[in-house]
Amino acid sequence: MIISHSHKFIFIKPLKTAGTSVEAALSQYCSNNDIVTSLNDFWFNRDKNGEWVHKAMNDEGFHQHDDAQTIKNRIPPETWDSYLKFSMTRNPWDRALSYFSWKQRRFPELRPKKSFYHYLGIPYNELQKTKEIFSQFLKKDLPNNDQFYLINGKLCVDHIIRYEHMVEDFEQLCKLIGLPPIKIPHLKAGIRRGKEHYSKYYNEESQSLVASKHMNDIKLFNYTFEQV
C-alpha cells in the first residue's frame, strides 16, 4: 500500500493481482513523507536476479492490504478527495487459482500426493486430483477484492490496473501521476505449479462458485470465464 504525498496518489493493494510488483516499482519514486508499507524478505519478494527492489518507508501502522475504507478513515478528508486513488483487478477465475496456489505453499494438505502404487507405474492424474482439492478449497476459503475498490457498494478509485493489461494500464497510470515510464519487476513468480490454463482446474460447480462471489469484478470489468 502506498500513500504518496510527493506525487499525490494512493495505491490500495488487493490480493493476488501482482500488486507487490506494482508497489515495488512505484516505491522507487517515493521519498520524504510518503508512506510505503514494508515487505518480508522472502525469495518471492525479490526480482529474478535476487535483487531487493522494494523501498519501504514511514508505514505509520498501515499494512500491505489495508482496504479502502480503512485508509480513508485514517487520512485527512482533503487527502482522500484530492489524491488519485487506484487499485488492481484480475480475472476472478484466474485469481482464485492463484490464491489457491499461494495457499498450497503453506498447507501441504492442499497438494495432491501419489500413493505407493503410482510409483510402481500405475498412471496418476495430478491435474485431476488438484482439481478436486481446488473445488473443495473454494467452498471454504474464497475472498474477493471488493473492499479494495468499493466503499458502500460504489467504486471509490479513479483508476484500475487490469492484470491482463498490466503494461498499458500501468503506463497510463504513470502519465496520470506525472511519472516517467517505469519497468515493473516480476515478483512472486513461480508459485503456481504447472502450466495449464486456469480453466482446466474448474468444474461447473467451482466455476459458478467463483462467479457468485465475484459479481462486482464481472460486472464492472467485464470478466468472463475463458475456456481453452
Residue 192 has pLDDT above 60, yes or no: no
Beta-strand pair 84-89/9-11: parallel
Determine the pLDDT at residue 137. Answer: 93
40, pLDDT greater than 90 = no
CA distance 100 to 6: 37
- Sequence-distant (6+) residues with CB within 8 A of 221 are 89, 160, 162
Residue type for position 53: V
Give the CATH number of the domain where residue 83 resides.
Answer: 3.40.50
Q: Grid coordinates standing for 210?
A: 467463483
Q: Mean pLDDT throughout 52-74? A: 93
Say if 10 falls within a structural domain: yes
Q: What is the pLDDT of residue 123?
A: 66
Domain that holds residue 78: 2-221
Is residue 228 domain-resident?
Answer: no
The pLDDT of residue 189 is above 80: no
Residue 191: pLDDT over 60 = no
Domain contains 190: yes
Residue 38, in any domain of the structure: yes
Q: In this structure, what C-alpha cell is assigned to residue 94?
A: 484466474
pTM of the model as a whole: 0.87
Phi and psi torsions of 74, nearest 5°: -100, -5
CA atoms within 13 A on the CB side of 16: 21
Reading the block at residue 39, the C-alpha cell is 515487505
* Any domain includes 188: yes
**DSSP symbol at 189:** T
Q: What tens digit of pLDDT does each residue of 71-116 get?
A: 999 999 999 999 999 999 999 999 999 999 989 887 888 887 766 5
Looking at the structure of the chain, the number of domains it has is 1
Residue with the bigger pLDDT between 129 and 178: it is: 178
Whether 25 maps to a domain, the answer reads yes
> Residues with Cβ < 8 Å from 42, sequence gap 6 or more?
none
Write the Ramachandran bin of 18: left for phi over 0, alpha for psi from -120 to 50, otherwise beta. left
Contact 110, 227 (CB under 8 A): no
Question: For position 188, what pLDDT does the model report?
Answer: 56
- How far is 206 from 221, CA to CA, in rounded Å? 20
Are the CB atoms for 23 and 54 separated by under 8 Å?
yes
Name the nearest CA neighbour of 56 among 41, 42, 69, 43.
41
Mean of pLDDT values over 135-159: 95
Within a domain: 166: yes
Q: Work out the mean pLDDT of the chain and round it to a whole number.
A: 89
Residue 143 has pLDDT above 80, yes or no: yes
- pLDDT at position 122: 62
**Number of helical (H) and strand (E) elements in the chain, helices listed first:** 9, 7
Q: Is residue 226 situated within a structural domain?
A: no
Is the pLDDT reported for residue 118 higher than 60?
Answer: no
Task: Look at residue 119 and tell me whether its pLDDT is greater than 80.
Answer: no
Query: In the predicted model, is pLDDT for residue 130 greater than 70?
Result: yes
The predicted model gives 29-39 an average pLDDT of 94
**Would you say residue 182 has pLDDT above 80?**
yes
The confidence score (pLDDT) of residue 15 equals 94
The pLDDT of residue 42: 63
